[in-house]
Chain A
Amino acid sequence: MSLYQVQQCLFDYLRVLEDPKTEGRPEIDTEGYDLSDTERKALESKDIGEIYVMGVHPVIVNGYCRALGYKRADYRPMLEAAAVKTEPRKVRWQK
């Protein structure tokens, strides 16, 4: 029941997919991780938007999307739809 457990589960899954001995694309294995029902469901249903919103590190989100075979045009709308909209802040490189 922690964001770290979600991220560790995804990280381990990505390493399994990278392993030359792995055949095809097995489903993610959530056993052994201390996950809430919501977290487990998001992982097992490949809910990219929910995974992003819960705060998974973007490097993992990126790797996971690519591992699922999504192209940028596929997953950007999922992330846009899930994200909380915020106003752009004033930044020093825009005078």
Chain B
Amino acid sequence: MAEIVLAYSASHAPMMSADKESAPPDQAERFFGGLDKVKAELAAKKPEAIVFMTGEHFTNFFLENMPQIAVGLGDGFQGPLEKWLKIPKTIVPGAPELAAHMLDGLVTDGFYPAFSHKLKLDHGFMTVYYELDQTMELPVVPIILNCTTPPLITLRQSYEFGKSVGAALRSYTGYERVGLVGAGGLSHFVGEPRVGDIEEDFDRWFLDQLEKNPLSDELLDMPNDELMEAGNGTGEVRAWVAVAGAMEGHKATTLAYEPIYEWINGMGVTSYQT
């Protein structure tokens, strides 16, 4: 059986790679400091593969065919899609046997994800993955979540989905050590009048909520339209809530939070004791 030896969630603003220097240096240092702690954990615990949940940005799916959840079954995934991201283009290795096992477990549990052998990886994946492993050799099962195109799954559904992800991951016998990552959020506004705003009160409240374990009904029962008040991109925290579901009973610690206005994003990192 596989053990989850690394679990964390982090923001994935494109500018953390594309225009890193635009942030106030002390803020950038504290945010990347949080990611460095996770990277040190990776080096110490050596997961053989990771499952990585992130939001869809019309990179793989559009309105003619939009799944709520999609699992990447491929041998490898091309990324990054964006020419301007300042991350070398590569083929990120997949973990197809783990992915097939995950998909089977999810369906058995009553979730019905789409699946694809040909997912492409955009900033939603590559920013955080590259900070974790600059060799980009760590095998990955990408799981893409619809976080911006209604109807959207609720936070409670995200949590329950995460529990199923955790159970499927732990029941895999092909690896001994695996990792789990959620990427997206925190608060940000995209393509709307509040673009550039950050809902700092939400971010701090949400990070406090994550440190409560299991998550509270106050968080999980939040209607989607209320969550949208924190930003129309903030729904990407569904990936964070899914990681929390997978890691229920494990202590969560906020490693960093910085509202970086130059990157138009609340930037956070939360890690789980494993």
Chain A residues with CB under 8 Å of chain B are 4, 7-8, 11, 18, 52, 57-63, 65, 72, 75-76, 79-80, 82-83, 88-89, 91-94
B58 touching A58 by the CB < 8 A rule?
Answer: no
Determine which of A4, A18, A58 lies in contact with B232 in the assembled complex, contact meaning CB atoms within 8 Å.
A58
A58-B148, A58-B232, A93-B206 known; A76+B226 contact, CB < 8 A: no
B190 touching A93 by the CB < 8 A rule?
Answer: no
Name the residue on A nearest B199 (C-beta). Answer: A93
Q: In the assembled complex, how far is the CB of residue B149 from the closest CB belonging to chain A, in whole angstroms? A: 6
B191 touching A92 by the CB < 8 A rule?
Answer: no
Does B25 sit at the interface, judged by CB under 8 A?
no
Q: How many A-B residue pairs have CB under 8 A?
A: 71
Does B107 sit at the interface, judged by CB under 8 A?
no
A92 touching B192 by the CB < 8 A rule?
Answer: no
Lowest 10 A-B CB distances belong to which pairs?
A58-B191, A61-B191, A62-B191, A93-B205, A79-B193, A80-B193, A83-B193, A93-B202, A62-B190, A58-B192
Contact sample, A vs B, 21 pairs, CB 8 Å cutoff: A4-B63, A11-B58, A11-B62, A18-B83, A52-B192, A57-B63, A58-B148, A58-B190, A59-B190, A61-B190, A63-B191, A72-B195, A72-B264, A75-B195, A76-B195, A82-B193, A92-B205, A93-B199, A93-B201, A93-B202, A93-B205
Residues from chain A with a CB closer than 8 A to the CB of B230 are 91, 93
Chief secondary structure at chain B's binding surface: loop
B63 touching A7 by the CB < 8 A rule?
Answer: yes
Chain B residues with CB under 8 Å of chain A are 57-58, 62-64, 83, 148-149, 190-193, 195-196, 199, 201-202, 205-206, 218, 222, 226, 229-230, 232-233, 264
Q: How far is the CA of A35 from the CA of B178 in the complex (A)?
A: 50
Name the residue on B nearest A83 (C-beta). Answer: B193
Q: In the assembled complex, how far is the CB of residue B182 from the closest CB belonging to chain A, in whole angstroms? A: 19
Q: In the assembled complex, how far is the CB of residue A12 from the closest CB belonging to chain B, in whole angstroms? A: 10
Q: How far is the CA of A7 from the CA of B233 in the complex (A)?
A: 18
Residues from chain B with a CB closer than 8 A to the CB of A61 are 190-192
Q: A11-B63, A61-B190, A61-B191 are in contact. List 19 more A-B contacts (CB 8 A).
A: A7-B63, A8-B64, A11-B58, A11-B62, A52-B191, A57-B149, A58-B233, A59-B148, A59-B190, A63-B58, A63-B191, A76-B196, A79-B193, A91-B202, A91-B229, A92-B205, A92-B222, A93-B202, A93-B230
Interface hub of A8, A58, A75, A93 (most chain B Cβ within 10 A): A93
Residues from chain B with a CB closer than 8 A to the CB of A88 are 229
B226 touching A89 by the CB < 8 A rule?
Answer: yes
Residues from chain B with a CB closer than 8 A to the CB of A75 are 195
Determine which of B58, B202, B205, B229 lies in contact with A59 in the assembled complex, contact meaning CB atoms within 8 Å.
B58
A4-B63, A11-B58 known; A59+B226 contact, CB < 8 A: no
Q: How far is the CA of A63 from the CA of B64 in the complex (A)?
A: 18
Residues from chain A with a CB closer than 8 A to the CB of B222 are 92
A8 touching B63 by the CB < 8 A rule?
Answer: yes
Determine which of B148, B195, B229, B264 lies in contact with A57 in the assembled complex, contact meaning CB atoms within 8 Å.
B148
Residues from chain A with a CB closer than 8 A to the CB of B57 are 59
Q: In the assembled complex, how far is the CB of residue A88 from the closest CB belonging to chain B, in whole angstroms? A: 7
A92 touching B149 by the CB < 8 A rule?
Answer: no
